[in-house]
Amino acid sequence: MATAMAATAAERAVLEEEFRWLLHDEVHAVLRQLQDILKEASYRFTLPGTGTEGPARQENFILGSSSTDQVKGVLTLQGDALSQADVNLKMPRNNQLLHFAFREDKQWKLQQIQDARNHVSQAIYLLANRDESYQFKTGAEVLKLMDAVMLQLTRARNRLTTPATLTLPEIAASGLTRMFAPALPADLLVNFYINLNKLCLTVYQLHSLQPSSTKNFRPAGGAVLHSPGAMFEWGAQRLEVSHVHKVECVVPWLNDALVFFTVSLQLCQQLKDKISVFSSYWSYRPF
């Protein structure tokens, strides 16, 4: 009996020593690693032109689609803003070629990129508040920090992987139609969004539904990508989507950022798992 109790006490002492080492050493090693990775991710979002400050550099991306050549063009991305969009659209009915580009004084903020960057900055802030001099007292404290960091990283990833669902009136009211010179024809709508590592442009061609039309008018709900036949009301008009053209371009640094998010989330989860192993021991030990 005495031998068993001595073994249990020795085992407990070893586990306590391991847990102290985990709290005092390994946790901070993981936090340093996380900060390094997330600073790299943050750098991808800012893409400074010179040094660590200054305006983000401009990058040109050629729009393409494997299924259509109706829409071609070049988008210029500068950090979280589209600083130029130069687009050619071949109209399906008559093959007429339309050309439109952003006005010189206009930029279009990509809210998804801005939000993702802000969530990364918040995660870095949380980690920086627990520097080397900070002593974690309990496993629960580490778990709470990891949960907070993982929440910010998940939100950052979701902003890039889950584009907003918009109704056609919301797209019409977004202000994008007023960005172009020459002005977009009244029967066109455009939308830009991020999907994973791609910057996407959707062009909707519209036609009016006559009051005498026998079609049942059913306004379409919100969607990332609307289909031909989708209807909506705008002003005093009832309109229907006749053609949809979607083109996209790969933005390599968005792919980098998504990889950094995945690696960081895995590191957070691994640390949580290690802490939980000890927590379950302390909760369920038979003495």
Question: What pLDDT shows up at residue 48?
Answer: 47
- Give the orientation angle of helix 252-284 with respect to helix 139-161, to 10 degrees: 150
Whole-angstrom CA distances from 226 to 84, 166, 206 are 24, 9, 12
Q: Distance (Å, rounded) from C-alpha 152 to C-alpha 37?
A: 14
Q: Distance (Å, rounded) from C-alpha 39 to C-alpha 45?
A: 10
Residue 215 identity:
K
The tokens of 116 are what? 């993702």
Question: What pLDDT shows up at residue 13?
Answer: 66
Q: What is the DSSP string of 232-244?
A: EEETTEEEEEEEE
Question: What pLDDT shows up at residue 46?
Answer: 73
Question: What pLDDT shows up at residue 92?
Answer: 73
Q: Distance (Å, rounded) from C-alpha 165 to C-alpha 191?
A: 11
Which residue from 192, 166, 169, 168 is spatially nearest to 179, judged by alpha carbons?
192
Strand order in the sheet with 188-195: 188-195, 198-208, 237-250, 231-234
Question: What pLDDT shows up at residue 191?
Answer: 94
CA geometry: angle 144, 146, 149, nearest 5 deg: 110
CB 256 within 8 A of CB 44: yes
The tokens of 287 are what? 């003495």
For 50, left (φ over 0), alpha (ψ -120 to 50), or beta? beta
Digits of tens for pLDDT over the chain (287 positions)? Answer: 444 444 476 666 666 767 777 777 788 889 999 999 999 999 888 754 434 555 567 889 998 765 667 888 899 998 889 999 999 888 777 778 888 899 888 889 999 999 999 999 999 999 998 877 788 888 888 899 999 999 999 999 999 999 999 999 999 998 888 888 888 888 899 999 999 999 999 999 999 988 777 678 888 999 999 999 999 998 888 999 999 999 999 999 999 999 999 999 999 999 999 888 776 655 444 33
Q: What is the DSSP string of 43-91?
A: HHHH-EEETTEEEEPEEEEEEB-SS--SEEEEEEEETTEEEEEEEEEE-
Question: What pLDDT shows up at residue 136?
Answer: 81
The alpha carbon of 195 is separated from its chain's Cα centroid by a whole number of angstroms, namely: 8
- pTM for the predicted model, two decimal places: 0.84
For 259, other C-beta atoms within 10 Å of its C-beta total 15
